[in-house]
Structure 1
Amino acid sequence: MITRSAGVANGFVKRLLRILGLTVAWAVGGVVGLVLLVVLGFLAAKPTETIRLLGQFAGNRPGHMQRVPGAPEQPLPKASFGERALSVESLQAAMDYGAETGSDALIVWRGGSIQLEHYYEGADENTLTSTQSMHKSVVALLVGVAISDGHIGSADDPISLYLPEWAGDERAAITIRQALWQSSGIDFPTFAFGSLGPMMGLLIGQDMRPITFEQKAVEPPVTSFEYNSINPLVLGLVIENATGRPYAEYLSEALWKPLGAGDGWVQMDTEGGMARSYCCLDIPARGWLRFGLLHLDNGRANGRQIVPEDWIAAVRTPGPNNPNYGFLTWLGTEHVEQRAYNSKASLRAYHSEAFAADDVTYFDGFGGQRVYIIPSADMVIVRTGALATDWDDSHLPNLLLAGLR
């Protein structure tokens, strides 16, 4: 009797497991099928964008990479162990934080020389990390050079003077300065789940111009701070139209080569198309150090005044709508624990405490891509690497400032 009952129970369990297995298989098959249908739908509607989007999972860049020719790389002095102007403990702690956050590179400059240049597993001095929005701060420098070269009259020129697409409507009076402040009043697209909409078009599309030009003014200039990608994209076009040269070419001749750096790469929406001047400047970590040193030395590099000193000062001066933002560049003027980017996005940048120095300027790329410039400490810090969504903006600078000798 007991044996018979056990057999019945075993049979029931087997049938139940078979049913559950089929149910799970059908569910998984259904999800896979749905995903395939969605992908095929996107592929039919926007084949190039879909292929580029899928290609990013393989590490491909979603656009044409345009070479930014450099010059023979100028050596940068390195401190010997006995010459270090920072404590060994602070440098080790900085390296540890870099490892915890998936970094590729960590470089620390202090007192006229490199104190630390560390590359993590799989990276070296030639590694090109996607540094996201740090490119915006380079655009700010390049606008200053274009003004100095006489291609642009002044930062108070209306953008429509160089961009006819903005003439004839409410955008006509928006100035270059207001766009640099991210206070132009222009609208901007945001992410939409399950859509290859305008924001995805800016990220992976093959023609950004229609999306850029269809953005209208939604409020008067200098009403509010709204960090977005449209302002730097428009400024990239202003640079091209004012100089009569492709963006990458002018960047190379006016800024990159004079810094004494090797080749870099800027992403275009398509070959011969529009530069993604809001992101996507691929250069090694040492190249970002050179940009930081350009700030530190008030626009000078290799014995030349590359960017006017008064322009560097303007870049580091807070705009009217955000005390922590100058010209496409972030400032550590006031401590805000959860730093907001704009009114549409929930994304925040975390600052666990105030910066230990009151003159911190920094390039901010999503996920902890950073260049910190601290003139009072004669310090530049570069961190590039994986997207660290839990990045603490004050941790690394304060850690190293505490280690000053």
Structure 2
Amino acid sequence: MIALIKTIQRILLIITLAIVLSVGFLFVQEPLVMSRLGGMLLGKKPGVQKIVMSGDGLSIKSNLGEKTINQQTLNEAIAYARETKSHALLVFHQGELQLEEYFPGYDKKTLSDTNSMHKTILAILIGIAIDQGFIGNVDESASNYLSEWAKDERMQITIKQLLQQSSGIRYPPFSFNPTGEWMKFMNGDDTQNIALNQPLEKTPNSEFAYNGINPQNLGLLLERATKTSYSDYLSENLWRYMKDDAFVILDSEKHATTRMFCCLDATARDLLRIGLLILNKGKLGDSRIVSETWIREMITPSDLNPNYGYLTWLGTKYQENRIYNNKSSATGFHSEPFVDEDIIFLDGFGGQRAYIIPSKDLVIIRTGAIVWDWDDAKLPNTISKGVN
């Protein structure tokens, strides 16, 4: 028995030494990525935070009288939100906030990481830049602004293809390897260099492939077209209509590149304002933020994916497991078809969501803990069925 215990102890010691040596080797290979990964375990951001200044913000009216949505329905939605460790659940219907629920430890001033919801906000900014004349139109070659692409086959890629995730440009597949390209793109200090130097992998407009490379290059295109940093353009043209300051993440002090495919921290109420902007076809209150034409284009199904417009998800066709790209096994789960076929939604990793249903004059916001098996049908269908 004593011999067995000693053998087990030796095995555990060998395993521990192997882990320590492996981690040490990775630290030597990629010290920044490894330190940032370690920091993330402690709640730190994988980069440098930069403030996005807000303004007065559209006033949001709360319903103090009889609800326009069945109370039992709202209770079911709250129960699901609590079950999935949500931070906030907001339901806006017919011009009033019918539900504003914050869970223990969170309130209306809490900033949540929106993850890929940021992509749709970037699409709105591209529309604003077109309205302002900085960008000609979506059928332009992206190489008109990304000169690095002007002398190779990437000159075929249009702005529209970047918006519809159909550019054909190579993108690194997900990997836990800290020395791999995906991890460097997500957590390294030179995000733009990785994005800008991806080669063409497929013929443009031949395959839908949801990834971060397309929006990151779109963000650079926006900066070059407007000659303005991303965070400043976001603040001056969109976030000044919000109520609370937000934060974006820069890859480093040296390169100061915003991660524009993810990593915007904002309050649930301001995410609601983004939803209302889409619901109201480019307006917030009396302010025209972006043209109605642009919002219509954003929510028009693309040729290669009926459930995707311009960096924005749609509920046009039922898919139980919504595919992101062919390099990943990850899917978006839908337990049943959407009740409302005109639903539009912002999809942030792990269940960060904004659901917009124009036919019901309804916007739903959920932020919270990462949920690996998030059910995209649950909240919008439950609430939609309860509309009085």
TM class by shorter-chain length?
A: over 0.9
The equivalent residue for 1:141 is 124
What is the one-letter code of the residue matched to 1:312?
Answer: I
Offset at 1:351? Answer: 0.4
Supply the RMSD in Å over aligned alpha carbons. 1.1
Task: Give the distance between the partners of 1:168 and 1:334, measured in 2 at CA.
Answer: 39
SS of the residue corresponding to residue 112 of structure 2 reads: coil
1:261 aligned onto 2:243: yes
Gaps spanning 5+ residues in structure 2: where?
A: none
- Is the partner of 2:316 in helix, strand or coil? coil
Kindly provide the amino acid, as one letter, of the partner of residue 21 in structure 2. Answer: L
Partner of 2:21: 37
Which secondary structure state, in structure 2, belongs to the residue aligned with residue 83 of structure 1?
Answer: coil
1:193 to partner: Cα distance: 3.9
Q: Distance in 2 between matches of 1:201 and 1:322?
A: 29
Q: Does 1:251 align with 2:234?
A: yes
> What code does the residue aligned with 1:63 have?
G
Q: Is residue 166 from structure 1 mapped to residue 158 from structure 2 by the alignment?
A: no
State the Cα deviation string for residues 236-259 of structure 1 (Å, max 9, x = none): 0011000001000000001110x2
Count of residues in correspondence between the two structures: 387
Which of structure 1's runs of 4+ aligned residues deviate more than 3 A?
none
**2:333 is the counterpart of 1:347:** no
Amino acid at match of 1:266: V
Residue 372 of structure 1: which of 355, 358, 361 is its match? 355
Following the alignment from structure 1 to structure 2, what is the Cα–Cα distance between the partners of residues 156 and 361? 23
Structure-2-length-normalised TM-score:
0.97
Deviations 1:44-85 (A, max 9, x none): 1121111101100000000011110111344310001x3311
Residue of structure 1 in register with 2:52 after alignment: 68
Letter in 2 for 1:49: V
Matching residue of 1:275:
258
1:212 CA displacement: 1.0
Shift of 1:22: 2.4
**Counterpart pick for 1:91 among 45, 56, 74:** 74
- 8 Å CA contact 1:352, 1:392 repeated in 2: yes
**Percent identical:** 43
2:387 is aligned to 404
Question: CA separation in 2, counterparts of 1:22 and 1:155?
Answer: 68
The DSSP-based 3-state class of the residue aligned with 1:393 is coil
TM-score (norm 1): 0.93
Kept in 1: contact 2:33–2:178 (CA 8 A) = no
- Tell me, in whole angstroms, the C-alpha distance in 2 between the residues paired with 1:235 and 1:285: 25
Residue 381 (structure 1) aligns with: 364
1:175 Cα shift?
0.6
Aligned 8 A contact 1:260 1:302 in 2: no
Q: Who is 1:9 aligned against?
A: none
Query: Residue 330 of structure 1 contacts residue 364 of structure 1 at CA under 8 Å; is this kept in 2?
Result: yes
Matches of 2:12 and 2:322 in 1, distance apart? 40
For the pair shown, the structure with the greater C-alpha radius of gyration is 1
Alignment equivalent of 2:191, drawn from 195, 204, 208: 208
For each residue in 1:325-370, what CA deviation from the matched residue of structure 2 results, as whole angstroms up to 9, or x when unmatched?
0000000000000111000000011101110011000000111110
Decide whether the 8 Å contact of 2:192 with 2:216 is kept in 1: no
* Equivalent position to 2:30, from 46, 54, 62: 46
TM-superposed CA distance for 1:260, in Å, is 3.1
